[in-house]
Structure 1
Amino acid sequence: MRIAIIAAMAEEMAPFRSESRIQARSQVGKVIVEEAIYRDQPIILVESGIGKVNAAVAVTLLIERYKPDLIINSGSSGAFADGLKVGDVVVATQYRYGDVDATCFGYEHGQVPQMPVKYDLDEEWVDVARQAAAVADKLPYSLDFGLVLTLDSFMSESERVEWIKSTFPSVKVSDMEGLAIVQAAAQYGIPVLAIKAVSDITGHGGDTADSFDDNLDDVAKHAAHFTELLVQQIQSSAV
């Protein structure tokens, strides 16, 4: 099975690079693609750049060139759900856009015209993530599963955060790339799993941005840690 790991930023990719032997490297615009040996297994590492467009371009390049069987998106996120703390990890079971509004045409909030309202991640692959959690030793963070939103905005303003919570009451966390990855991969029939560690709690103004800056390196390691457990579970299941 060919697995690709995609992250938006160098900081989010750093834990994987530190454990990998890079065999080849190419770059197109912001997108960096590395053929690597990770934990003694061949893997594709993709640093996409920040935002939906960079993520969609990266996934298209990845699939056209390497045809992976599974894409894992590892990275940081802002927490909406009560009880989530910095460092906790959320595995996405569903994605929606949090900043799309075509409701005047009869679409739901978050629905791109002529596209699905939501994107449910493949249940069998989500179950593999649940299995990885079940067999793991005590995790150094809390783990949750649920809805992730993708938005173009960093969610520091309390009024916007309250609107998001009221509009999408089951949301756990948000990111800036995940659904672009899922949507682009869906065009090719490639499944995606998303592992999101909490770098900040939304709605706290400048403190939210400071939290992201202060915690990014550490939470990237948490997301990478569970991604590693997931890759191990996939490898053991394939034996």
Structure 2
Amino acid sequence: MKIGIIGPTENEIMPFVKCISNDKIVSTALLKFHNGIYNNINVVALYCGVCKVNAAIAAQILIDRFNVTHIIVTGVAGGMGKSLKIGDTVIATKIAYHDVSDGILTEYHPWMESIYFKSDELLIEHCKRALKQERFEQTVHFGKVVTVKHL
């Protein structure tokens, strides 16, 4: 397993990067990829800039150049759930586009069965186990997440 971790800003990703051992920095496409080990897991972390297009570019480079098997995207976002409060964490169980017609994904390439990209079940289980073993200050929720462009 090799995990890619993407954050939108330096402030959001650098506290994690400081915990990476054997950090080797690779610069490409105006991005700095921190390649190393965290808790005996191979990781590559970077900040990509704000917006889903920047995250998509970073994700593709992580896949093509660094051969990651999983990608975690972290950062600040708004939420609409009635139970959500400022500072809560939401771990996506599935993700959908807000600004793309459903038929674009299901009737054309990539011919998905539904509009949702499902999160890796093994990573969800790891998150749930970590929540049982560790104490976190914020409330953690599991659920659907949607992307949306700025209006």
Normalising by structure 2, report the TM-score: 0.82
Aligned residues: 147
Q: Which residue of 2 aligns with 1:153?
A: 150
Report which of the two structures shows the higher radius of gyration computed on alpha carbons: 1
Q: Distance in 1 between matches of 2:107 and 2:22?
A: 41
Given that 2:5 and 2:45 are in contact with CA atoms closer than 8 Å, whether structure 1 keeps it comes out as yes
User: AA paired with 2:78?
Assistant: G
Report the alpha carbon displacement of residue 70 of structure 1 after superposing the two structures with TM: 2.0
Report the alpha carbon displacement of residue 42 of structure 1 after superposing the two structures with TM: 4.2
Q: Which residue of 2 aligns with 1:87?
A: 87
RMSD of Structure 2 on Structure 1 (CA): 2.4
Q: Secondary structure at the match of 2:74?
A: strand
What does 1:127-142 align with in structure 2 at a 5 Å threshold?
A: 127-137=125-135, 139-142=136-139
Q: Which residue of 2 aligns with 1:56?
A: 56
Given that 1:48 and 1:58 are in contact with CA atoms closer than 8 Å, whether structure 2 keeps it comes out as yes
Q: Residue 37 and residue 119 in structure 1: after superposition, are their counterparts in 2 closer, same or farther (change >3 A)?
A: closer
What does 1:28-107 align with in structure 2 at a 5 Å threshold?
A: 28-39=28-39, 42-101=42-101, 107=103
User: AA paired with 1:128?
Assistant: H
Given that 1:100 and 1:112 are in contact with CA atoms closer than 8 Å, whether structure 2 keeps it comes out as no
Q: Residue 122 and residue 37 in structure 1: after superposition, are their counterparts in 2 closer, same or farther (change >3 A)?
A: closer
Unaligned residue ranges in structure 2 (runs of 5+): none
Given that 2:63 and 2:69 are in contact with CA atoms closer than 8 Å, whether structure 1 keeps it comes out as no
Q: Residue 10 and residue 3 in structure 1: after superposition, are their counterparts in 2 closer, same or farther (change >3 A)?
A: same
User: AA paired with 2:97?
Assistant: Y
Q: Secondary structure at the match of 1:53?
A: helix
Unaligned residue ranges in structure 1 (runs of 5+): 155-239
Q: Greater relative contact order: 1 or 2 (C-alpha under 8 angstroms, separation 6 or more)?
A: 1
Q: Distance in 2 between matches of 1:38 and 1:124?
A: 18
Normalising by structure 1, report the TM-score: 0.54
Report the alpha carbon displacement of residue 46 of structure 1 after superposing the two structures with TM: 2.1
Q: Deviations over 1:104-163 (max 9, x none)?
A: xxx38xx576243111212232122112112223x2011100011111116xxxxxxxxx
Greater helix fraction, Structure 1 or Structure 2:
1
Q: Residue 101 and residue 69 in structure 1: after superposition, are their counterparts in 2 closer, same or farther (change >3 A)?
A: closer
Q: Which residue of 2 aligns with 1:126?
A: 124
Given that 2:21 and 2:37 are in contact with CA atoms closer than 8 Å, whether structure 1 keeps it comes out as yes
